[in-house]
A and B are shown apart, each in its own frame.
Chain A
Amino acid sequence: MQRTPRIATLALAALLLGMLAGLGCSSRKQVTTADTTPPPPPPTETTTPPPPSEPPSETTAEPTAAGLDDAFFDFDAAEIRSDAKDALTNNGRYLQAHGGTNVVIEGHCDERGSVEYNLALGERRARAAKDFLVSYGVPASRLTTISYGKERPFDAGHDESAWSKNRRAHFVSK
């Protein structure tokens, strides 16, 4: 079908175009109604927002290991921010003082982007947090990682306020 000689078909194409013009137009109008739904307002994008000081009222959080803080990240990034360094340093101090505590470091992402990419990004975040703690002196054997990507948001909202809380490494006691 796609091998149809182009020269032989051009005249026919013109004829067909003319014949279809009326039909095509009317059917187009009917079928594009799904496109007329007003889109939700585009989300704003900011970088390096302040980490949340308190959890939101509507939360789906996993239980946090006592004394261990979340480390937060920028959009599409797994680099440890300065505020995350403070949180992880605190966690390192706590883990050294509580030698019996082993933790799972969960990597989480905000809702933007694909399931698959965010699973990989969450893995990078969890590993970045783990690497920081190992450098701090916590034995790697006490730290395991898992990525939930964007599938377990801390805050179910759809704005930067929610996203900034969801881009995190979260600590759960084993």
Chain B
Amino acid sequence: MGSNTSSSRSALALYLAVALLLVWPGRATTQTDVRIGVKASGTLKSPLLLERFRAGAGAETDARNAHDVVRHDFDLSGVFAVADVEPLTEKLTPNPAEQGTVRVQGIIEMAGPGLQFSGEVLDIGSGESVFKRSYPTTRGDIRRTMHKFNDDVIEALTGERGIAETKIAFVRTTGRVKEIWVADYDGENGRPLTHDNSIALSPAWAPWGSEIAFTTFKRGNPDLYLFDLVRGASYPFSTRPGLNTAPCYSPDGKWIACTLTRDGNAEIYLVSRDAQTARRLTRNGRIDSSPSFSPTGNQIAFTSDRSGSPQVYVMDTEGSNQRLITLEGKYNDSPQWSPKGDRIVYASRHDAVFDVIVMDANGQNAVQVTFQAGHNENPRWSADARKIYFSSTRSGQRQIFIMNPDGSDVVQLTNKGGESFNPAAGPRAKKRLQAAGSG
């Protein structure tokens, strides 16, 4: 990034900031006080003109493939409204009337034994380059390279990286067997993680991204195991008699909140990741389950049917100050706190169907974001909170979908074989956190 582009970049960032403020109902000045049952407001995106990528000799197919991958990434980002254009034949003429629109150029050329992709983003308003980078790659690595380019572009324009380099975990059913699968953020390159030939459920990512907690019946009892993605193996974490379910890591990775029934009824516990300590947080004769940490780690949202039917509650992480926060609906479950902290997504049963609801973290402004499309459950935020993964029966059996938090841009991500459900969005690649304990 040259210093001569910094002023135009900040001007562009301002425009994008305005656009992005309008993208999310929870932030937007245009937010309507829509209640459950009424359609959420639409999404406004920044315009992006995506050029057909140019190709060096012998790389024509690679240029088309790269373009298609990043086109899909830009579309899925929730940030851009993408239009396809031909490459410029001469220098871009600045057009202040189109301030805020960007133009993305790319070229793939043979480079030694492999390929090189060079991408650039131009601000049409000023005519200046706001991002430019070259990526060495190979024919088999183009998808990953373009995911990185997508995330780099989004970071350059908005200040926050995209999620194209992240992974998702989910449960996939084959006959009576349920295994944990991992795939790219867009559902591509799916592969089974477990091969337990049993029932594996409820995957949850460690904040450092190389470990997944999940429930498995492989030894008969629903036990919690941790899968180490580096070693490619799992090991038992909590095998107490009764349920060991619904894991959720604390943001610092030191604790796993989960549901245990060792004291006779489903209660929420904090179990240290070294498995040495278990702290009980809830105490009542009804079900308490599905804990989800706030991003500060100070609070936990969870499901309880202590009032007679499942509802979403919040408590302090010590277990104190437990309070009902869902104000509407008779059956609310599966809360997950946004990585930004401002909102909670959950699934609500109404009129004999399930739909995804997004509300402020204090329970206000609940907005239904799925409509009349089968059962929509298991909502989970993406790492950047710009997307929500969920399972839906809208195309038949349960499959994984992704959408914007206002319910727009619904895209199905899984379709092969049996049912897929229980999506869990992985964190962004980052420096490895120091995990607590010896593990």
Contacts of B372 in A (CB 8 A): 39
Contact B421–A119 (Cβ < 8 Å): no
B interface bracket (residues with beta carbon within 8 Å of A): 35 or more
Given known contacts A9-B18, A28-B42, A35-B373, A114 and B333 CB-to-CB distance under 8 angstroms: yes
Contact B377–A114 (Cβ < 8 Å): yes
- How far is B310's CA from A17's CA once the two chains are assembled, in angstroms? 41
- How far is B350's CA from A43's CA once the two chains are assembled, in angstroms? 11
- How far is B75's CA from A9's CA once the two chains are assembled, in angstroms? 25
Contact B98–A120 (Cβ < 8 Å): no
Q: Of the candidates A4, A12, A124, which one forms a contact with B287 in the assembled complex, judged by CB atoms under 8 Å apart? A: A124
- How far is B178's CA from A35's CA once the two chains are assembled, in angstroms? 27
Contact A23–B333 (Cβ < 8 Å): no
Contact A34–B394 (Cβ < 8 Å): yes
Contact B334–A116 (Cβ < 8 Å): yes
Q: Does B326 belong to the interface (CB within 8 Å)? A: no
Please encode chain B, from 92 to 126, with 1 for each CB lying within 8 Å of some chain A CB and 0 for all others: 00000111110000000000000000000000000
Contacts of B222 in A (CB 8 A): 119, 146-147
Contact B100–A123 (Cβ < 8 Å): no
Q: Of the candidates A13, A34, A147, which one forms a contact with B401 in the assembled complex, judged by CB atoms under 8 Å apart? A: A34
Q: Does A173 belong to the interface (CB within 8 Å)? A: no
Closest to B398 in A: A111
Q: Does A148 belong to the interface (CB within 8 Å)? A: yes
* Chain B nearest Cβ from A71, distance in angstroms: 19
Please encode chain B, from 336 to 367, with 1 for each CB lying within 8 Å of some chain A CB and 0 for all others: 00000000000101011110000000000000
Q: Of the candidates A4, A43, A44, A60, which one forms a contact with B18 in the assembled complex, judged by CB atoms under 8 Å apart? A: A4
* Max chain A Cβ within 10 angstroms of own Cβ: one of B13, B46, B246: B246
Contact B13–A1 (Cβ < 8 Å): yes
* Chain B nearest Cβ from A99, distance in angstroms: 24
- How far is B371's CA from A162's CA once the two chains are assembled, in angstroms? 25
Contacts of B303 in A (CB 8 A): 114, 116-117
Contact A113–B333 (Cβ < 8 Å): yes
Q: Does B382 belong to the interface (CB within 8 Å)? A: no
- A-facing residues in B195-222 (Cβ within 8 Å): 199, 201-202, 215, 217, 220-222
- How far is B199's CA from A20's CA once the two chains are assembled, in angstroms? 48
Q: Of the candidates B82, B171, B266, which one forms a contact with A120 in the assembled complex, judged by CB atoms under 8 Å apart? A: B266
Contacts of B14 in A (CB 8 A): 4, 9, 12
Q: Does B265 belong to the interface (CB within 8 Å)? A: yes
A interface bracket (residues with beta carbon within 8 Å of B): 35 or more
Q: Does B238 belong to the interface (CB within 8 Å)? A: no
Contact A76–B242 (Cβ < 8 Å): no
Contacts of A115 in B (CB 8 A): 171, 201-202, 378, 421-422
Closest to B330 in A: A76
Given known contacts A113-B333, A114-B377, A146-B221, A31 and B409 CB-to-CB distance under 8 angstroms: yes
Contact B243–A123 (Cβ < 8 Å): yes
Q: Flag the segment in B20-28, B56-64, B131-139, B185-193 that touches A.
A: B20-28
Given known contacts A9-B18, A40-B393, A23 and B81 CB-to-CB distance under 8 angstroms: yes
* Chain A nearest Cβ from B18, distance in angstroms: 5
Contact A146–B220 (Cβ < 8 Å): yes
- How far is B372's CA from A35's CA once the two chains are assembled, in angstroms? 8
Contact B17–A4 (Cβ < 8 Å): yes
- How far is B330's CA from A76's CA once the two chains are assembled, in angstroms? 12
- B-facing residues in A1-22 (Cβ within 8 Å): 1-2, 4, 6, 9-10, 12-13, 15-17, 19-20
Given known contacts A1-B158, A32-B409, A115-B201, A20 and B377 CB-to-CB distance under 8 angstroms: no
Contact A1–B17 (Cβ < 8 Å): yes
Given known contacts A1-B17, A27-B82, A123-B242, A76 and B47 CB-to-CB distance under 8 angstroms: no
Q: Does A45 belong to the interface (CB within 8 Å)? A: yes
Contact A23–B83 (Cβ < 8 Å): yes
Contacts of A145 in B (CB 8 A): 242
* Max chain B Cβ within 10 angstroms of own Cβ: one of A9, A19, A115: A115
Sample (25) of A-B pairs whose CB atoms are under 8 Å apart: A1-B160, A2-B21, A2-B27, A4-B14, A4-B21, A13-B19, A17-B44, A19-B47, A20-B19, A27-B82, A32-B410, A34-B373, A39-B394, A76-B305, A76-B331, A113-B331, A115-B421, A116-B303, A116-B334, A117-B333, A120-B245, A120-B289, A123-B243, A151-B201, A152-B199
Task: Please give me the 7 A-B residue pairs with the lowest Cβ-Cβ distance, nearest first.
Answer: A120-B266, A116-B246, A34-B410, A120-B287, A4-B17, A1-B17, A9-B18
Q: 8 additional contacts, CB 8 Å, given A43-B352, A146-B220? A: A1-B13, A20-B44, A27-B82, A28-B42, A31-B411, A114-B290, A115-B378, A115-B421
B residues neighboring A (CB under 8 Å): 13-22, 27, 29, 42-47, 75, 81-83, 97-101, 158-160, 171, 176, 178, 199, 201-202, 215, 217, 220-222, 242-243, 245-246, 259, 261, 264-266, 287, 289-290, 303, 305, 309-310, 331, 333-334, 347, 349, 351-354, 371-375, 377-378, 393-396, 401, 408-412, 421-422
A residues neighboring B (CB under 8 Å): 1-2, 4, 6, 9-10, 12-13, 15-17, 19-20, 23-24, 27-28, 31-32, 34-35, 37, 39-40, 42-45, 60, 76, 112-117, 119-121, 123-124, 127, 145-148, 151-152
